[in-house]
Chain A
Amino acid sequence: MTFLHTRIQSLSWMGMLRVGTALLSGSMLLSLGKEYAFFYGKMPLIDSDLLQLGKTTPITLIQIDTFVYFVYILCCLFLLMGFVTKVSTGILLLLHAGIFTSLPEYSYGADYFINILLFYCLIFPTQKVDSLDNYFFKHQTPAKLTIQRCLSILRIHLALVYFFSGADKALGGDWWNGEALWKALHLPYLTSSIFTTQIDQLPILFFQSTGVLVLLLELTYPINLFLKRTRSIYLYFILSMHLGIALFMNLWLFSSIMIFFNAICWFSQGRDASNMPSFFLYKSNPASSTSPCKQEQPS
């Protein structure tokens, strides 16, 4: 763990954002295997002209053939390495939007969150740190204010995500009495085959209390994550929630994206930590002498 922690600390925060986004974008396409052709190929299950009748998005639908597939993966690799970063990110964003989010009939939360991460990789100066672009062109390190602004935008965005998600859930009564959680865990296409019988044996109080816990976690996210005292334990609750979603509902990619999004916002800020005020820092182990994070002096 110390070795991993040290390696992570040696990366910049923006480098981690860029690398993680590239990996998740590539995973999105690769996770479909050959079945991408059923939805986004040249000979899909549903005729693309018909699907475009119901289209409400402005971007043109892009169908995946061998060339588009190759360009998509290549752009993910370039983004991963930070090579011609802005160009590859721009092309990847357009491809992703044209493939995965142009048809709402096939889209779900993971597609939109990848879209968001790609957009932030495009507008943030991710090419200036820990990248091949920086190696060849020797960019100036982004100013402390720039890094603070970028991180602030991400954190505010994530806080709004959870707040509105919780507020919308709180409007209905089902999340307060456990019915919503019970139903969500028994949906025919989102049921985990491993835990079905175990879930059915759990008492009603478990579903009621977990449903209320999910509501409270999401509604109080903006408060608890911006307060240093509650941040650590709260973050582990949030990550546990997403791990539970992955295990019990088979939403592995979506959960990975949300765990990454939370980690990039609130966990180690890497090499940039020494340039940041303490408000932005995740409180790392003060006993670690190799950590470049600021350490609070005992009173």
Chain B
Amino acid sequence: MFYKHTFIAIAMVLHIGCIILFNTLSMQQSIKLLQTSANQSDTTDRMGRFDSLLLRPVFRWYTHLSGTECLYGFFAPKVGSQYVVQFKLYDRYKRLLTIRQGPHIQQAESIIRYSRLLDQCEAFLPHDQQGNERQQRYVSALLHNLAISIAKDSSSARFVLCEVYVSHISGIKSRTAQLADYKLIHQQMISR
């Protein structure tokens, strides 16, 4: 009985410890985002110590299935922008057929998941971080796939122009007549 209680107590502590660990690392990431580049090296070194633990398969399976790797920084430290993608379908003579705002989805949950997919377009924003080029190529491939799927609805569509816009909301104090401004950050022509 003693061993059972001890085991349960240790398991509880480890479980709670995992939650605290992941969220503390997430907060360090947030601090890193907000700090100037001169001070970023300190936080990077502290995070690197846990990589050997975090990458172990047993640990990864446990944290994934238990949900302890879930981070709770929703809309934190700042509310991120959302991205809108416009698809212009052209025929073989490059005449505009139609403009689509995305796939034909109507369910609220589907819209949320589609917007999560489009959050990947953050890679097209100007960044100073290394590895962004790889991420941009990945997102370009996602957009290519998405454009092909959307063009399937139109039999005469041969080219699709993807235009990625970042939605910029005017500040609360300015409150201009046009609340949302859409800035083009990426264009991509896809042929079927």
Contact residues of A with B, CB < 8 Å?
A: 28, 31-33, 35, 38-39, 45-47, 50-51, 53-54, 57-59, 93-94, 97, 101, 105-109, 112-113, 115-116, 119, 149, 152-153, 156-157, 160-162, 164-165, 167-172, 174-175, 177-180, 182-184, 186-190, 200, 204, 207, 250-253
B149: chain A residues at CB < 8 Å are 45-46
Of A97, A106, A179, the residue contacting B171 (CB under 8 A) is A179
CA distance A209 to B105 in the complex (A): 36
Given A149-B12, A172-B78, decide whether A250 and B108 contact each other with a Cβ distance below 8 A: yes
Given contacts A157-B16, A252-B108, 17 further A-B contacts (CB under 8 A): A28-B109, A32-B109, A35-B110, A38-B105, A45-B145, A45-B146, A51-B142, A106-B113, A160-B19, A169-B77, A172-B34, A172-B78, A174-B78, A179-B79, A180-B78, A182-B171, A188-B167
- Answer yes or no: B7 CB below 8 A from chain A CBs: no
B62 to chain A, nearest CB (A): 10
Q: Contact: A57 with B64, CB < 8 Å? A: yes
Of the A-B pairs whose beta carbons lie under 8 Å apart in the complex, a sample of 23, sorted by A's number, is A45-B103, A58-B64, A107-B113, A109-B70, A112-B67, A116-B66, A153-B16, A160-B72, A165-B72, A168-B76, A172-B76, A172-B78, A177-B172, A180-B75, A180-B78, A182-B172, A183-B169, A186-B180, A188-B82, A188-B167, A189-B114, A207-B172, A253-B109
Q: Contact: A204 with B110, CB < 8 Å? A: no
Q: Which residue of B lies closest to A94 (CB)?
A: B65
Q: Which residue of A lies closest to B135 (CB)?
A: A54
- Answer yes or no: B129 CB below 8 A from chain A CBs: no
Given A46-B145, A53-B138, A183-B79, decide whether A58 and B30 contact each other with a Cβ distance below 8 A: no
CA distance A162 to B76 in the complex (A): 12
Q: Contact: B64 with A97, CB < 8 Å? A: yes
Interface residues of B in 90-118 (CB under 8 A from A): 103, 105-117
Q: Contact: B82 with A187, CB < 8 Å? A: yes
Comparing B20-28, B40-48, B155-163, B183-191, the segment that makes contact with chain A is: B20-28
Given A112-B67, A157-B19, decide whether A204 and B107 contact each other with a Cβ distance below 8 A: no
Q: Which residue of B lies closest to A101 (CB)?
A: B64
- Answer yes or no: B50 CB below 8 A from chain A CBs: no
A265 to chain B, nearest CB (A): 15
Given A105-B120, A168-B27, A168-B76, decide whether A31 and B108 contact each other with a Cβ distance below 8 A: yes
Q: Contact: B169 with A182, CB < 8 Å? A: yes
CA distance A115 to B68 in the complex (A): 9
CA distance A250 to B107 in the complex (A): 11
A170: chain B residues at CB < 8 Å are 77
CA distance A190 to B34 in the complex (A): 25
Q: Taking each of B112, B115, B138, which has the highest tally of chain A beta carbons within 10 Å of its own beta carbon?
A: B112
A282 to chain B, nearest CB (A): 23
